[in-house]
Amino acid sequence: MAVSAVSVRQVSKIFARASQRVPALQNVSLDIAPGEFFGLLGPNGAGKTTLISCMAGLCRQDQGQIHILGHDTRTAYRDARRALGVVPQELVFDPFFSVREILQLQSGYFGIRKNDDWIDELLAALDLTDKAASSMRSLSGGMKRRVLVAQALVHRPPVIILDEPTAGVDVALRQGLWQFIRRLNRDGHTIILTTHYLEEAEALCGRVALMRSGQICALERTETLIRQFAKHRLTVRLADGGHPLPAVLMAQAKPLPEAPRTWLWTLDQLSEIESVLASLRESGCKLEDMSITPPDLETAFLSFMNDGAGKGERRD
Ligand SMILES: Nc1ncnc2c1ncn2[C@@H]1O[C@H](COP(=O)(O)OP(=O)(O)O)[C@@H](O)[C@H]1O
Ligand SMILES: [Mg+2]
């Protein structure tokens, strides 16, 4: 079997905070194959950043092993670190360096000299060429984020980890960033991404892991997760002055608080729409408007997290 891009074996990490013990990772295992575009999803505090920090050797797990392309992050730290490019969640920089200086320093950290051709390529790909001489302090948040991406890539790492790279980044820039990351993935790089934007994960990631309270509660191909957990949603607005929704239908539907006379059904099967519409007709309700939303990762995620499956043990 080919060596995994990232292999995480039974990793646990407990933070001690004041007198409390916070189990940030509890027996986490996963394997990511070379060339995958993998999503690490979960609510705030789920342990995503801690897992990434352990992969990058920035944080020591209490138990378990992590290998990056076969290199143990503890016993072969330098080789493991060299195989990785990490775009961190927090923007931390020395404000007085210029963009080019930051990238040259990072190259030096990896022992690479004369890296300017590649640095120029990165700057061009990230639309930063005319900012090369600007000090970090003068850049907007979105531009700083792009410099972080360039910084993660100066040593051409085969495995790239991005921790919430598009948080607070405007739509146009997000699109540009994804185009670039997609290209890296097509060129053979393994990409691991955490994001709050589930439509982004749905569009990009072949597989996703859902994390919650330091555990992986689902690990599936994205389309499998959507098929298993997402529902069709039917939204109906009743006509003003018509019959109100009868009690038996109220039991199936939820009112949308922000819209008057508007009700939402979540349906396991699209075909259930027929019986809802028939019941509405029989009850004398008139429809003013109706829409159907197909299953997506966002609804899969919500129903997975809410219906109890995400609260218990991992499903295999
Ligand atoms: N350095 C730290 N010291 C104490 N607790 C921490 C530290 N880093 C993270 N935690 C805690 O560990 C848990 C997981 O955090 P984190 O990995 O940042 O989650 P996520 O990235 O999924 O939002 C949270 O409860 C968080 O408060
Ligand atoms: Mg985080």
Identify the CATH number of the domain in which residue 273 sits: 3.30.70
Whether residue 161 is predicted with pLDDT greater than 80 in this model: the reply is: yes
- C-alpha 49 to ligand 2 mean position (Å): 4
Rounded (10°) angle between helices 99-109 and 116-125: 130
Is residue 79 a part of any domain in this protein? no
300 touches 287 (CB < 8 A): no
**Least confident stretch, 47-61, 93-107, 166-180:** 166-180
27 touches 10 (CB < 8 A): yes
* Residue 184 token pair: 């890296």
Instruction: Order across the sheet with 84-87: list the strands.
Output: 84-87, 159-163, 190-194, 37-41, 207-212, 215-221
* Residue 170 token pair: 């405007």
Domains held by the chain: number: 1
Ligand minimally distant from the alpha carbon of residue 165? 2
Ligand minimally distant from the alpha carbon of residue 48? 1
- C-alpha 234 to ligand 2 mean position (Å): 33
Please give the residue range of the domain that contains residue 254: 231-294
- C-alpha 275 to ligand 1 mean position (Å): 47
**Which amino acid residue places its CA nearest to atom 1 of ligand 1?**
15
Is residue 67 a part of any domain in this protein? no
Is residue 24 a part of any domain in this protein? no
- Work out which ligand 1 atom sits closest to the CA atom of 17: 4
State how far the Cα of 206 lies from the Cα of 112, in Å rounded to an integer.
33
Is residue 275 a part of any domain in this protein? yes
Read off the pLDDT band of 308 (50, 70, 90): low
Q: What digits encode the pLDDT tens for the residues 67-116?
A: 999 999 999 999 999 999 999 988 877 888 999 999 999 999 999 999 99
- Work out which ligand 1 atom sits closest to the CA atom of 50: 17
Read off the pLDDT band of 257 (50, 70, 90): confident
Whether residue 228 is predicted with pLDDT greater than 50 in this model: the reply is: yes
- Among 8, 11, 14, 15, name the best residue to mutate to test ligand 1's pocket (greatest count of ligand atoms within 8 A of Cβ): 15
Is residue 41 a part of any domain in this protein? no
- Work out which ligand 1 atom sits closest to the CA atom of 89: 21
- Work out which ligand 1 atom sits closest to the CA atom of 52: 17
What's the predicted TM-score (pTM) here? 0.84
For residue 78, the number of C-alpha atoms closer than 13 Å in the C-beta half-sphere is 3
Read off the pLDDT band of 176 (50, 70, 90): confident
- Work out which ligand 1 atom sits closest to the CA atom of 214: 14
Q: Taking CB atoms and a 6 Å cutoff, what residues make up the pocket around ligand 1?
A: 15, 17, 22, 24, 42, 44-50
Is residue 269 a part of any domain in this protein? yes
Q: What is the dihedral of CA 93, 97, 103, 104, to 10 degrees?
A: -140
Is residue 134 a part of any domain in this protein? no
Read off the pLDDT band of 173 (50, 70, 90): confident
Ligand minimally distant from the alpha carbon of residue 41? 1
State how far the Cα of 150 lies from the Cα of 155, in Å rounded to an integer.
10
- C-alpha 194 to ligand 2 mean position (Å): 8
Is residue 268 a part of any domain in this protein? yes
Cβ neighbours, 10 Å, residue 147: 24
